Structure 1
Amino acid sequence: MTDNRIEVYEERIAALEEKLRAFEGRLAPPPSRRPGTEWAERFGLLAAWILLILILGSFRPDQMFSWNSYAAMFGSNAMIVVLTLGLIIPLTTGDFDLSVASTMALSSMMVAVLNVRMDWSIEGAIFMALAAGVAVGAINALFILWFRIHSLIVTLGTGYFINGVVLWISSSAVISGVSMDLVRVVIMTRFLGIPLAFWYAVLLTAALWYVFQHTALGRRLLFVGRGREVARLSGVNVNRARAGALIASSTIAALAGVLYTGMRGSSDPSSALAFLLPAFAAAFLGSTTLYPGRFNAPGAFVAVYFLSTGIMGLNFLGVPSFVQNLFYGGGLVIAVSISQLIRKRRPMD
């Protein structure tokens, strides 16, 4: 009986060693390639951004080559950058969070309702909005990890539920008159001619870049996304990593809602939902640049403003508004396709 158990254990150990060797093979550096190919993969989107500006500028040079146009664009799209940065965290661990735009809308509306209708201080309203983001992430994690439901289904349902809550607490109406203290520190105060909202997005981008590139936490998140079973066998607490990623995503989405309220000085129960597709398009497009093959904060930052530049140029050309949906939708499909191709060539950085 004892001999049989020893044989079983030896077989299990052999199987684990085989899995680890296979995963180490995936971690091995990719075959050497020509420097030009490496450069094109890492910086191709930046080059495409410059080319896009030059092409659009040939039609509208007075607008496309004006610093004021870009200063306004950088500030007005800062909340999309923040929303995208929140989204890439669960994407890194292999989960989709379709509720981020709804969480953004909930946070925005909570700030307006608490500050305007209930006369809370703006600081207290922001704190409660961020706490709501933490709660949404925890609920998502509970259903995904405890009940083993796919993240797409859970976050889609959570998003629709949150939309109902937003319509309920707002009575389906726009709430304006949010404290000017928030408006001043988000959009009215400028540095180098750009609203502070942009610089908040820059700081968050730098923070996430540091976490993913230079901390053990970031490497564990990448490890989980590449192979959950192997990560678990290696001692990584996979459920904790995934739960933390989902909570971080919703909390950052709530921060995007706070910025959005400060930029508008009001809250609309439905306008934030339009940012879900741009965030996904930027997240996948960003995974094709700077650190190709994986979701990364600097790439997401560049992707947001690459897409925003295209939209801005089309608006200057007087293109109908429906083209914006075509641009973001087509961009998402192309970005996902390129991302998958690069992932096959570069298993792990």
Structure 2
Amino acid sequence: MSADHSLSETSAPAEAPSSLPSTLARYPSASARDRRAQLMRLLGTYGTIIVLASMLVIFSALQPATFATIGNFRNIINDMAIGTIVAAGLTVPLVAGDFDLSIGYVASFCGLLVVGLLSSSGLSIPLAIVLVICLGTIIGIVNGIVVSKIGVNAFIATLGTGTIVVGLNYAYSGGIPLQLTQSRQFTNIAIGRIAGVPHLVIIMAVVLALLWVILNRTVQGQHIKAIGVSPESARRAGVAVDRSRIVAFAIASTCAAIGGVLMASNLGSGQVTAGDSFMLTSFSAAFLGSAALREGQFHILGTLIGVLTVAVGNNGLAMIGAPIFTQFLFTGCLLVVAVALGGIGRRYGRG
């Protein structure tokens, strides 16, 4: 009895060494975890640039005579200008931790409305543009009030506002495109050039510069950033959280209105749904931008890189003769990848 007891006592510890390696094997070593964290940080910080560089190499190899030309790159920059303005405006509420799903509908309505004011109401071009942009600002203010003062979730509030804007769009136009009567003077805003540089590129550069200054060199911009980190902490620090959120939404809708006006000028007519696609592409660009040069943070330069990535992808697909539906698939997949990269950057950037 005692011998058996003694044997059991001496044999029990003998199993520990054999089970220890298998137990440790379940957990990666510290160096393996460090390497994985470094890789994730790299993807979260430079993932978008890696995607952009890869597409440039691939499409240049597939179509060197058409894609990899200065003329084509000039066309890409010009074509992405309007989308960049809308996406850059969206970046501001994203920095504050909010969403705006109404920007595409606002762009469509403002583009249609400016043509109607010029052709049907006979307003002058400057007055029509100012009125339409002011309307965009008012829509943004309404979004901000509903979200900050009433407390409606930004996703629901801006989706509801956008649906109302769609209703106003169809009520004004009857669902029929509006033709422009002052074609030459108005269309020159978008298609004209100064010293060989397209107006659209100049306007894009001015808007981007203004938004960058607002976010990075003004007190209001620092307040918006603080809200994005922690609204409650920002409030305790004396930040007027509600007012800053309203300002962010107003900037987004103002940029959407500017984009709508430029779109109408570029098309030479007012189309009912011409700007609706800006919502998806703008979110894709902004989230891609959060994985460019910063670890999951929204910023204006990143959004510009994100828009360029989307534009290069769509242009490359068109150059190789891919069906039109592939561009929608590409943009949708890119949005998923963008959100994933942004999440990786935020998760591992804090490590």
Query: Quick check: TM above 0.5?
Result: yes
CA deviations 1:284-325 (Å, max 9, x no partner) are: 000111233211111111111111111111111111111111
Select which of 228, 231, 235 maps to 2:234.
231
| Separation in structure 2 between the aligned mates of residue 178 and residue 221 of structure 1, nearest angstrom | 42
Instruction: Give the C-alpha shift of residue 172 in structure 1.
Output: 1.1
Q: Which amino acid aligns with 1:189?
A: R
Instruction: Give the C-alpha shift of residue 42 in structure 1.
Output: 4.6
Instruction: Give the C-alpha shift of residue 326 in structure 1.
Output: 0.9
Instruction: Give the C-alpha shift of residue 140 in structure 1.
Output: 1.1
1:164 is aligned to 2:171? no
After TM superposition, the score normalised by the length of structure 1 is: 0.85
Give the aligned partner of residue 244 of structure 2. 241
| Separation in structure 1 between the aligned mates of residue 270 and residue 288 of structure 2, nearest angstrom | 29
| Separation in structure 2 between the aligned mates of residue 50 and residue 190 of structure 1, nearest angstrom | 30
CA deviations 1:153-174 (Å, max 9, x no partner) are: 1110111110111111112111
Question: Is the contact between residue 84 and residue 300 of structure 1 (CA under 8 Å) also seen in structure 2?
Answer: yes
Q: Which amino acid aligns with 1:307?
A: V
Q: Provide structure 1 residue ranges, at least 5 long, that are not aligned to the other structure.
A: 1-33
- C-alpha distance 246-236 of structure 1, shift in aligned 2 (>3 A): same
Question: Is the contact between residue 180 and residue 270 of structure 2 (CA under 8 Å) also seen in structure 1?
Answer: no
RMSD: 2.2
3-state SS of 1:63 partner: coil
- C-alpha distance 47-305 of structure 1, shift in aligned 2 (>3 A): same
| Separation in structure 2 between the aligned mates of residue 126 and residue 299 of structure 1, nearest angstrom | 29
Which deviates the most, 250-259 or 64-73? 64-73
* Count of residues in Structure 1 that have an aligned counterpart in Structure 2: 315
Give the aligned partner of residue 193 of structure 2. 189
Question: Is the contact between residue 107 and residue 133 of structure 1 (CA under 8 Å) also seen in structure 2?
Answer: yes
CA deviations 1:95-137 (Å, max 9, x no partner) are: 1100011111111011100001111111111011011111101
Instruction: Give the C-alpha shift of residue 44 in structure 1.
Output: 4.8
- C-alpha distance 35-153 of structure 1, shift in aligned 2 (>3 A): closer
Q: Provide structure 2 residue ranges, at least 5 long, that are not aligned to the other structure.
A: 1-36
Instruction: Give the C-alpha shift of residue 185 in structure 1.
Output: 2.5
1:320 is aligned to 2:311? no
Question: Is the contact between residue 92 and residue 221 of structure 1 (CA under 8 Å) also seen in structure 2?
Answer: yes
Q: Which amino acid aligns with 1:60?
A: Q
| Separation in structure 2 between the aligned mates of residue 190 and residue 40 of structure 1, nearest angstrom | 39
Question: Is the contact between residue 110 and residue 128 of structure 1 (CA under 8 Å) also seen in structure 2?
Answer: no
Give the aligned partner of residue 278 of structure 2. 275
3-state SS of 1:333 partner: helix
Give the aligned partner of residue 209 of structure 2. 206
Give the aligned partner of residue 115 of structure 2. 112
Instruction: Give the C-alpha shift of residue 212 in structure 1.
Output: 2.2
Give the aligned partner of residue 301 of structure 2. 298
Identity %: 27
After TM superposition, the score normalised by the length of structure 2 is: 0.84
